[in-house]
Structure 1
């Protein structure tokens, strides 16, 4: 069947162009298969002219069905000749902010909550006793698209303490630092993958009730707290760092 040439089945020359191939009759439909892959189907509009041309083409078939075992094989051979399959991949060059956002608090497995040290402009993780629940930092988490391809439970997010104060990452020597940095909402609407502004973004991933927050700019570095009660630091660390906790409950 691979040697079948539809031109051999027609009286017309190979240079003949069907009249229904005019661009004005072409229609394209796009079906989204996943976040980064679409199925694009291009076909001619259904008109009486196209039906008539199809009937004429069928009547011009010279070869008998003897070389095919069934009508299905003949149809498949014809379709192999006239249907062209092309795969398109979306190329994302930037992260765009979604309109949705939500308020949340973070708590590690040792029941440490995040608080803000105003004097040092740093986040700290402490075990809050009764009556001090209002000291927790209420983060505003904003989602960005497109989401990563690795998992349906993973998304790119911005974590904000106030309207213009956000978590960000920087690097000194071989160590990634967690900062609180001021930046206007307008500048964070769209962030190019190639810009330094990706320092504000984190990959939020996890299952059920525990999530990790990995730096987009510095892959392999995660927001973490200490497993020791006396250590109140909130820092970036690598996933296998000793005495650091990288999984958090997200409470809304």
Structure 2
């Protein structure tokens, strides 16, 4: 406490009131509970602020004095003879918004939690990697592969349904869900300590709104445009892991880290 003065948190008070203002701050910090009750502050002629608090913390004192300081600056500019409604507006405009985030080890109380809301129309597309291999689906195994298709075999390409989402907490990329059918979607889950890519069934209704708390963010990927025809899909649930293909032919589409060797993480949408 000795190294911190509450007056440091305030906008500069007028020269006339500076000494009195600092004295009030310090006395409020060190007074006992009996001294705190029914504390009166003279804001302006005919207007007193009476504070009863139980208990009073350091942050409460800071917020209170910030509000008082703003009121002392606002009222002289407004002049005397304010109506009750006008006076109420001045006081409300001077209130201090209090936002507290408490942390305990790895747990955060009051942390914003992302909610993803689907919006807009569904885009139909096919995917090929930077070596021009197309993504197909091996129906027997229900696995995705990347293969260079020769002429006459274009029908083997997977027609993806790309659905866009709004992320309420961040804008690092465009959140999307990649679907093969209305109920079959790409997902990313943990298996044996490693994120793996799956084709997973889920109803469209459950994917309209996605919350991280219910594990449904495994269906979400951040689409990021890296330049001309270079688009990456990063797992929302496991950041740093991307949908990728192998440099070889007819290899499965899998998840990999950004710096993985012999893996291609950039795609072109057709």
TM-score category by the smaller chain? 0.5 to 0.7
Q: How far did residue 83 of structure 1 move?
A: 3.5
Coordinate RMSD, CA, aligned: 3.0
Name stretches of at least 5 consecutive residues in structure 1 with no aligned partner: 17-53, 59-78
Q: CA deviation at 1:246?
A: 0.5
Q: How does 1:178-189 map to 2 (within 5 A)?
A: 178-189=197-208
Q: Report the equivalent of 1:11.
A: 45
Q: Within 5 A, what are the aligned runs for 1:106-185?
A: 106-146=127-167, 149=170, 151=172, 154-185=173-204
Counterpart of 1:72? none
Offset, 1:55: 5.3
Deviations 1:87-125 (A, max 9, x none): 879934422222432111111110011111111111111
User: 2:217 is paired with a residue of what secondary structure?
Assistant: helix
State the match for 2:251 in structure 1: 232
Taking structure 2 as the reference length, the TM-score comes to 0.62
Q: Name the structure with the higher helix share.
A: 2
State the alpha-carbon separation in 1 of the partners of residues 118 and 223 from structure 2: 15
Deviation at 1:3, TM superposition (A): 2.4
Secondary structure of the corresponding residue to residue 80 of structure 2:
helix
User: Does the Cα contact within 8 Å between 1:198 and 1:216 map onto a contact in 2?
Assistant: yes
- The alpha-carbon distance between structure 1 residues 213 and 82, as it changes in their structure 2 partners (threshold 3 A), is closer
Q: Deviations over 1:194-234 (max 9, x none)?
A: 11221111111123321111111222211100112x34221
| 1:215 maps to 2:235 | yes
**Structure number with higher strand proportion:** 1
1:198 and 2:217 matched: yes
Q: Go from structure 1 to structure 2 and tell me whether the alpha carbon gap of 1:127 and 1:221 turns closer, same or farther (over 3 Å shift).
A: same
Q: Is the 8 A contact 2:42 2:49 kept in 1?
A: no
TM-score by length of structure 1 reads: 0.66
Are 1:102 and 2:136 counterparts? no
Alpha-carbon distance change, 9 to 161 in structure 1, aligned in 2, over 3 angstroms: closer
Aligned partners of 1:222 and 1:82: how far apart in 2?
48
Is the CA contact (8 Å cut-off) linking 1:10 and 1:57 kept in structure 2?
no
Gaps of 5+ in 2: 1-10, 18-40, 51-77, 83-89, 100-109
Q: 1:3 to 1:207 in 2, by over 3 A?
A: same
Q: Which of these residues, 51, 56, 59, is aligned with residue 80 of structure 2?
A: 56
Larger relative contact order (Cα-Cα within 8 Å, sequence gap ≥ 6): 1
